Structure 1
Amino acid sequence: MSSTTPVAVVTGAGSGIGAATARRLAAEGHHVVLTGRRADRLEHVAKEIGAAGGSATVHPLDVTDRDAVRQFAATLDRVDVVVNNAGGAVGAEPVADADPADWRTMFEVNVLGALQVTQALLPALTAAEGTVVLLSSTAAFAAYEGGGGYVAAKHGTHALAATLRLELCGTPVRVLEIAPGMVRTDEFAVNRFRGDADKAAAVYAGVPGPLTADDVADTIGWSVTRPPHVNIDLLVVRPRAQAAQHKVHRQS
């Protein structure tokens, strides 16, 4: 890797949107640092990137571990982009029956994890005139039944992005928020429904063309590669079949 090669850190890079984003940024010429909790998944993605002619390294990391995040940041000489993708949903119970532990888990990963990674990498990002990307969701703007904990967490991610952008105004760091709607990946809905594949499949039943991880990665790649003076404050991306959080066209 040349000293002039831009470096992108992607959290939750072992699967789904994170893996797709890592592949896209590598194709755009970045050396990609893959982080996540599953080393085997990260190694697989790194091999895919290498086979395609890109450059990647692997660093297993739990973004909720503040000391580990700080130690990770200390290993990097340069950071041009950080994509705070690590997150997810746990459970779909109504508020009356929700387990506070599930809400705590979602907040710690989606909000505090992104906060800790951003804090640790901000000096390097400032030196490189870099870009912070935060993956929120259309859930950051509209509540829905059974989604209270995830909605609350993604509202937190949105607040983090908006506040950070205000506080960094006048510095050379851009803050981008990407808010996907309905995205079908291998794990998101399955994890949410605690491994119940039938319930996960029902989320997308009849929906013509839900977004894919590559669709979101394409959006991130485009946003990051705009000229340095251009900031994509907030980009909402949904499938055509989803007009709003509660309005989804389904074919019978």
Structure 2
Amino acid sequence: MTNPAATNPAAAEPAVRTAVVTGASSGIGEATARRLAAEGYRVVAAARRRDRLDKLAADVPGVRPVTLDVTDQASVDALAASLERCDVLVNNAGGAFGLEPVAGGRVDDWQRMYEVNVLGSLRMTRALLPKLVESGDGVLVMLTSTAGLVSYEGGGGYCAAKHAQTSMTETLRLELCGDPVRVVEIAPGMVMTEEFALTRFRGDAERAAKVYEGVPDPLSADDVADVIAFAVTRPSHVNIDRLVVRPRAQAAQHKVHRVASGT
């Protein structure tokens, strides 16, 4: 019998696994794109800000920049159509907008949070799930938050969106039982990135800084990317259902150790 690898050397070469990371222009998404590229994945770094993606691709071999708006179905469909394969999908695009109590909540903020965090993840999952199954060993990562597990004052809209993502993740794991796709939820606690708190407070840098004031060593984007890479690179029979990661200084949503300045 003829050995295909002997007549076609390319047949002996394993396919390079492809990972799609949304929200890859900054923060956790960018760090995850860098880390998965270092792990040997061909990374599709997707986000709205193409200039940042182009810089990332120039810095990191194996990264392909793709302009993507997860709130636009046509944009999502275009990305899916451009892919020959998808082995890993990291639904990272999201964000928090505002910190008003429910009674003073802005409907447009709530709609935006639901549109990006929840429906954005739904659009991406629907578009790429067939390719994840076709890969024979797909991994779907949902980047949620401890806000999706425990609510807090002022976080009504964000907590509602993240609870919805958590519910979607749990449902997907049930529905895909028996299919060759692992469904992973990564739920970070306090992570200090350049934009998260600044976006939540609509550009108010002083309010954003107070979130982390006195907290020794909040998590970094690289810390979360490290956890994502760990979950994705486990053997194919090992599923990390949910991994909650916080800084040591944060025992719970409402229990954070802070150090007074000058001590």
Where on the TM-score scale, by shorter chain, does this alignment land: which range? over 0.9
Unmatched tracts of structure 2, length 5 or more: 1-12
Match status 1:69 vs 2:76: yes
Q: Distance in 2 between matches of 1:104 and 1:178?
A: 23
- Written as runs of structure 1 = structure 2, the 5 A alignment for 1:49-198 is 49-50=60-61, 55-128=62-135, 129-198=137-206
Query: Could you tell me how far 1:58 is from its partner in structure 2?
Result: 0.9
Query: Could you tell me how far 1:3 is from its partner in structure 2?
Result: 6.8
Match status 1:22 vs 2:33: yes
- Written as runs of structure 1 = structure 2, the 5 A alignment for 1:189-208 is 189-208=197-216
Match status 1:13 vs 2:24: yes
Q: Distance in 1 between matches of 2:57 and 2:152?
A: 37
Q: Distance in 2 between matches of 1:228 and 1:73?
A: 23
Q: Distance in 2 between matches of 1:80 and 1:49?
A: 20
Unmatched tracts of structure 1, length 5 or more: none
Query: Could you tell me how far 1:71 is from its partner in structure 2?
Result: 2.0
User: Greater shift after overlay, 92-101 or 178-187?
Assistant: 92-101
Query: Could you tell me how far 1:47 is from its partner in structure 2?
Result: 1.5
Deviations 1:165-208 (A, max 9, x none): 00000000000000000000000000000000000000000000
Deviations 1:77-132 (A, max 9, x none): 11000000000000011111110110000001000000100110011100112100
- Aligned partner of residue 59 in structure 1, secondary structure: strand
Q: Distance in 2 between matches of 1:91 and 1:3?
A: 47
Deviations 1:14-68 (A, max 9, x none): 0000000000000000000010010001111111212xxxx01111010011122
Query: Residue in 2 aligned with 1:31?
Result: 42
**Alignment RMSD:** 0.9
- Aligned partner of residue 62 in structure 1, secondary structure: coil
Q: Distance in 1 between matches of 2:235 and 2:166?
A: 23
AA aligned to 1:58 is P
**Percentage identity across paired residues of the two chains:** 63
Q: TM-score, normalised by structure 1?
A: 0.97
Q: TM-score, normalised by structure 2?
A: 0.93
Number of residue equivalences? 247
Q: Distance in 2 between matches of 1:61 and 1:162?
A: 26
Deviations 1:134-165 (A, max 9, x none): 00000001111111100000001101100000
Q: Distance in 2 between matches of 1:142 and 1:237?
A: 14
Q: Distance in 1 between matches of 2:155 and 2:14?
A: 45
AA aligned to 1:219 is V
